[in-house]
């Protein structure tokens, strides 16, 4: 057997780690790319248990998963905000208005009537 067959493959552990960090900080789709690359590299490195790149690849995989989760949460929150804005929902409706010394409750029919009476230009 020659030494070439025993050499561990180069799976670009540093590149996977760098892409996962850049994806976490700058661009969400990079985390997906680095996660796919890390999964492929780990499957390759399973045949080489003493590989020196296993730590880099595993760190890149973990950071990619965290980045994907965060970017998905950000997208969901932004889509939800935009949807509420398009529907005309105003979260400040009735804010800073007191009725008989207590904060107005926009869910109460009486308080909504009072809010509309004191701020006629506002719409819900």
State both tokens at 75.
Answer: 């997208």
What pLDDT, in 10s, does the model give residues 21-56?
999 999 888 999 999 999 999 999 988 888 888 999
Residue 99: what pLDDT? 72
State both tokens at 104.
Answer: 């107005």
Q: pTM for the whole thing?
A: 0.63
Q: What DSSP state is assigned to residue 8?
A: P
E-only strand ranges, 6-116: 98-99, 102-103
Residue 36: what pLDDT? 95
CA–CA gap between residue 4 and residue 105 (Å, rounded): 75
CA–CA gap between residue 116 and residue 112 (Å, rounded): 6
Residue 20: what pLDDT? 95
What confidence category does residue 1 fall into, taking pLDDT thresholds of 50, 70 and 90? Answer: very low
What values do phi and psi take at 27, rounded to 5? -140, 110
User: Greater confidence, 110 or 47?
Assistant: 47
What pLDDT, in 10s, does the model give residues 54-100?
999 999 999 999 999 999 999 999 998 888 777 665 555 556 677 77
């Amino acid at each position: 057997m020659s030494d070439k067959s025993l050499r561990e493959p180069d799976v670009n552990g540093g590149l996977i780690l760098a892409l996962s960090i850049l994806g976490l900080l700058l661009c969400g789709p990079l985390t997906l790319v680095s996660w796919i690359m890390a999964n492929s590299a780990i499957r390759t490195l399973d045949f080489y248990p003493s590989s020196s790149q296993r730590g880099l690849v595993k760190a890149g995989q973990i950071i990619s998963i965290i980045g994907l989760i965060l970017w998905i949460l950000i997208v969901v929150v932004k889509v939800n905000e935009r949807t509420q804005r398009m529907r005309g929902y105003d979260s400040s409706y009735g804010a800073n208005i007191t009725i008989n010394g207590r904060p107005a409750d926009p869910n109460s029919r009486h308080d909504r009537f009072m809010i509309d009476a004191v701020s006629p230009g506002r719409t819900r």
